Amino acid sequence: MSELKAGSRLERIFEKGEFAITAELGPPKSADVEVIKTKAGYLNGNVDAVNITDNQTAIVRMSSIAAGYLAMQEGLEPIIQITCRDRNRISIQSDVLGAYALGIKNILCLTGDHQKFGNHPNSKNVFDMDSIQLIYMLKQMRDEKIFACGDEIKNSKKAPVVEPKIYIGGAANPFGDPFEFRVIRLAKKVKAGADFIQTQCIYDMDRFEEWMKQVRDRGIHEKVKIMAGVTPLKSVGMAKYMRDSVAGLSVPDYYIDRLSKAEDKAAEGIKICVEQIQKLREMEGIAGVHLMAIEWEKRVPEIVEQAGLLPRPEVNN
């Protein structure tokens, strides 16, 4: 095994050549720790790491670092999400140092949803940098041991350099426009230093395969671990909402048909999700699946189970 960049469980899974599975945990819209404990209970032992979202859709929630730390206490490995919407380079670097000091080893770098969609649409956004520049900044911090300004990461002239050893993730949306730019953007993330990529949730397998072909043509899948995003459909309403209201998402009508004909919509949604995971597993260049069960964490164990991904492999620390 080559020398690890951060030594997170996620990184070890990939290094071992295992098919990784991650899930998502949205921090509470309050200071209620119990929410994290409950959700963590569903996920513990069933996934390799868990994304802790950063005020997703621009709605105020508990800080992702704090929630990640709490999740860690529950036995989960967190992947902290950091967006560029709310913090400038000073604040982000400071948070990265703090997160690492608390034992956090994975960070997913995102641009962030526009505040217009959240509960504080009148706020000022920051966007000091974009997600690609954020990835590069973390890589510089880890590998060159410097801050964005070029200063070395140490407390004083004589103090030791203690850099944050972070496993760096990025996101990819294979379905946004302009379609031809999507792979270019992925390539730029990899060039900036992304170690792993999680994609937007995928329903349109044909279009995703088309994108993956472009990815493979550029050899990107050999430089980065690509995790395909999946989201189980809870209901026909949700499927239609995803199809009609979420930019860059297309839900093929046959899934909607299947759901509307099914007696137990939830079970059918899970069945579809499991089929998707199995299909993605066969796809060349896919190193894992990112399971975004939106406010449905309790069904994660059965999805992972039915997909034949249990038990999760042991990786020594």
Partner 1 sequence: MIVGEQKPFEKVYESVKEYKKVLILGCGTCVTVCMAGGEKEVGILASTIRLANKQNGIRMEIQEATVARQCDREFFDEVKDKINWADAVLSMACGVGVQFCSEVFEGKRVLPALNTRFYGTTEQQGIWSERCAGCGDCVLDKFGGICPIARCSKSLLNGPCGGSQDGKCEVDPDNIDCAWQLIYDRMKLLGCLENLEENQVIKDWSAGRDGGPGKIVREDMVL
Instruction: Give the residues lining the site for partner 1 (CB under 8 A).
Output: 84-85, 89, 111-114, 116, 125, 127-133, 136-137, 148, 171, 173, 175-178, 180-181, 184-185, 187-188, 191-192, 200, 247-248
Please report how close the Cβ of residue 187 comes to partner 1 at its closest, in angstroms: 7
Closer residue to partner 1, CB minimum distance, 111 or 278: 111
Q: Where are the alpha helices (DSSP H) in the chain?
A: 9-15, 33-43, 64-73, 89-101, 131-139, 179-192, 205-217, 236-245, 253-261, 265-282, 300-306
Closer residue to partner 1, CB minimum distance, 18 or 204: 204
Closer residue to partner 1, CB minimum distance, 76 or 110: 110
Please report how close the Cβ of residue 248 comes to partner 1 at its closest, in angstroms: 5
DSSP string, 131-186: HHHHHHHHHIIIII-B-TTS-BSBSSSSSPB-----EEEEEE-TTSSSHHHHHHHH
Closer residue to partner 1, CB minimum distance, 155 or 245: 245
Gap between the Cα atoms of 77 and 206, Å rounded: 32
Please report how close the Cβ of residue 188 comes to partner 1 at its closest, in angstroms: 5
Contact 167, 105 (CB under 8 A): yes
Closer residue to partner 1, CB minimum distance, 46 or 198: 198
Please report how close the Cβ of residue 247 comes to partner 1 at its closest, in angstroms: 4
Contact 307, 277 (CB under 8 A): yes
Report the amino acid identity of residue 144: E
Please report how close the Cβ of residue 181 comes to partner 1 at its closest, in angstroms: 5
CA angle, 173 as apex, 172 and 174 as ends, to 5°?
A: 105
Kindly compute the dihedral angle of the four CA atoms of residues 243, 27, 277, 284, in this order, to the nearest 10 degrees: 100
Please report how close the Cβ of residue 299 comes to partner 1 at its closest, in angstroms: 25
Closer residue to partner 1, CB minimum distance, 68 or 229: 229
Short-list 18, 22, 4, 6, CA closest to 197: 22
Tokens, residue 228: 């395909």
Closer residue to partner 1, CB minimum distance, 244 or 253: 244
Please report how close the Cβ of residue 54 comes to partner 1 at its closest, in angstroms: 15
- Is 119 strand, coil or helix? coil
